[in-house]
Structure 1
Amino acid sequence: MNEEGKAILTIEDLRRAFVSCGVSRGQHIIVHASMSRIGFVAGGAEAIVRALLDLIGDEGTLLAPAQTWKNLDPSTGVHGEIPHSWWPIIREHWPAFDPLVTPSVGMGAVAETIRIWPGAKRSGHPARSFAAIGRYASYLTEEHDLRNIFGAGSPLDRLYQLDGYVLLIGVGHEKNTSLHLAETKASFPGKHDVEEHSAMFVDGKRAWVSYHTQAVDDHDFIRLGTEYEQEHAVPIHAVGGAEVRLIRQRPLVDWTVAWMERHRT
């Protein structure tokens, strides 16, 4: 504590706190985090990532969304209220996605730190990529199908195959991308595909590429996440000022599939 009674967290503090949350050696974890909710961390997002990597060790893997959703057609509203006359310019000139260069958009400082970490791997989807560090980083991020952003063979599905974990730090289930994996597995009347467009490299040249993929919908994620936590007595921990949940991904996804099939229209 400082002289004003405000907390400051060190890497050692973070290690102890994450151990109490259940983080341990050999786990494969997708992390979603809000630094502002945690409070002041000596070392910022780097300290969070170092603490988690220290705990999971060489046998573990850390995964995070590294999405670049502004690399979608401007007609979808990803650029806000811009003149329609700008749309053709964006389609012609938006930089092609480069997994080594293109920064993530709105994923937070922890996710971006994982993306640029030495040795990190990143999947090749031009709008919905993921980045990973650790033992299964290559496995999680390779061959990310353009048309199957969150389903079979995606980084989320491969984490499911590894019986991985979801770590929510200062965020709720509205940020829990693993629920989109359940969305691809579930059968419900409103499930449908959409056509999306992104700038990417094709044979070494920039192209504006169209592709069909399942439409995503997170409107009920908070509700279903709350019900899952209540039904399964998910413990809620504290790291600094942030609520923290560590949840096994596979049971969560399986339960969510059944929930969506009961409740979605």
Structure 2
Amino acid sequence: MTGSTPPPSTRASLADDLRRLGLEPDDAVMVHGALSRVGPVVGGPDALVDALLEVVGPGGTVLGYQDWELGVDVWDADGRVLEDLRAHVPPFDPATARAARAHGILASTIGTRPGVVRSGNPGASVAALGARAGEFTADHNLVDGYGADSPFARLVDAGGRVAMIGAPLDTMTLLHHAEALADVPGKRRIRIEYPMVTPSGVEWRWAEEFDTDAPVVDAFPDDFFARIVEDYLATGAGRSGRVGRAESVLVDAAGIVPFAVEWIEARAPRH
């Protein structure tokens, strides 16, 4: 290497960056990452996952939002799988399902690591590695999968955290939990059917949720999650710093969720 080009990150340097950001042993942390912003990494995304696991240690847990990669939209306007595709849609199996490509290579890497445990709600699916992986992902309800007793609610209850490693702030999935909790009228709800692998074989089941593809109410812009995070950080809460070359943020789940609920309720129209 010559000139002023920074050296690539390594597992060790990324672990140091994460510690400076505020990540600690025994933390449970949901991670969103944009590896292109982290810059070159010796070992690629696995090195970042290894660094996260190193910092939280054997008592910690690393979680990643997954969704489900089907490749195409297979549903009609009523949420039913299109008839001509019905025989071709593979059943959702937490043991083999891949993260949606839109969530990036870090989510995919977490979701395919040895020992990973994945929750059973296809659209709201969360993968976890570490000491409490099973606890966070067990019995993920197909109705209101971002609400009470979801992996997101459990992260809040466990005193967990969210790390945005170069990821756009409007991609903080935990804030869908705040949308679920917020007492506002007019939430759009959707029903979608999925083929699911079960102990009894493949079964078709319906999932019901408020529509997470758009803001919980029409009054908010598409990127309003970023505004919530920015307003939360402006209170002095959370931590900011660099992981590799990426501007990154670390927040406490139990702090940002009630802040977001209050933010949504204060600005949502009441008529």
Whether the TM-score (by the shorter chain) exceeds 0.5 is yes
- 1:81 match: none
- 1:62 match: 62
- For residue 76 of structure 2, give the secondary structure of its aligned residue in structure 1: helix
- 1:33 match: 33
Partner amino acid for 1:97? F
| Cα distance change on mapping 1:235 and 1:201 into 2, 3 Å | closer
Deviating 4+ runs (over 4 angstroms): none
- 1:53 match: 53
- 1:3 match: 2
Residue number among 228, 232, 235 corresponding to 2:236 in the alignment: 232
8 Å CA contact 2:165, 2:247 repeated in 1? yes
- 1:103 match: 98
- 1:75 match: 76
* CA distance in 1: counterparts of 2:45 and 2:69, whole angstroms: 22
Q: Which moved more, 1:202-211 or 1:6-15?
A: 202-211
- For residue 40 of structure 1, give the secondary structure of its aligned residue in structure 2: coil
- For residue 63 of structure 1, give the secondary structure of its aligned residue in structure 2: strand
- For residue 207 of structure 2, give the secondary structure of its aligned residue in structure 1: strand
Within 5 Å, which residues of 2 pair with 1:130-141? 130-141=126-137
TM-score by length of 1: 0.89
| Cα distance change on mapping 1:50 and 1:262 into 2, 3 Å | same
- 1:211 match: 207
Report the alpha carbon displacement of residue 204 of structure 1 after superposing the two structures with TM. 3.6
Report the alpha carbon displacement of residue 73 of structure 1 after superposing the two structures with TM. 4.1
Partner amino acid for 2:262? A
| Cα distance change on mapping 1:260 and 1:69 into 2, 3 Å | farther
- For residue 228 of structure 2, give the secondary structure of its aligned residue in structure 1: helix
Q: Which moved more, 1:99-108 or 1:197-206?
A: 197-206
- Tell whether 2:248 aligns with 1:259: no
- For residue 74 of structure 1, give the secondary structure of its aligned residue in structure 2: coil
* CA distance in 2: counterparts of 1:211 and 1:64, whole angstroms: 21
* CA distance in 1: counterparts of 2:153 and 2:26, whole angstroms: 18
Report the alpha carbon displacement of residue 114 of structure 1 after superposing the two structures with TM. 1.4
- Tell whether 2:155 aligns with 1:159: yes
8 Å CA contact 1:127, 1:198 repeated in 2? no
Aligned residues: 256
- 1:243 match: 247
* CA distance in 2: counterparts of 1:165 and 1:154, whole angstroms: 15
Partner amino acid for 2:75? P
Query: What value does the CA root-mean-square deviation take over the aligned residues?
Result: 2.1
Report the alpha carbon displacement of residue 128 of structure 1 after superposing the two structures with TM. 2.1
% of aligned pairs identical? 30
* CA distance in 2: counterparts of 1:264 and 1:73, whole angstroms: 32
- For residue 235 of structure 2, give the secondary structure of its aligned residue in structure 1: helix
* CA distance in 1: counterparts of 2:256 and 2:130, whole angstroms: 23
TM-score by length of 2: 0.88
| Cα distance change on mapping 1:67 and 1:15 into 2, 3 Å | same
- 1:88 match: 83
Report the alpha carbon displacement of residue 146 of structure 1 after superposing the two structures with TM. 0.6
Q: Which moved more, 1:198-207 or 1:177-186?
A: 198-207
* CA distance in 1: counterparts of 2:186 and 2:74, whole angstroms: 23
Report the alpha carbon displacement of residue 75 of structure 1 after superposing the two structures with TM. 3.3
* CA distance in 2: counterparts of 1:203 and 1:16, whole angstroms: 44
Q: Which moved more, 1:66-75 or 1:126-135?
A: 66-75
8 Å CA contact 2:69, 2:98 repeated in 1? no
Q: Which moved more, 1:17-26 or 1:105-114?
A: 105-114
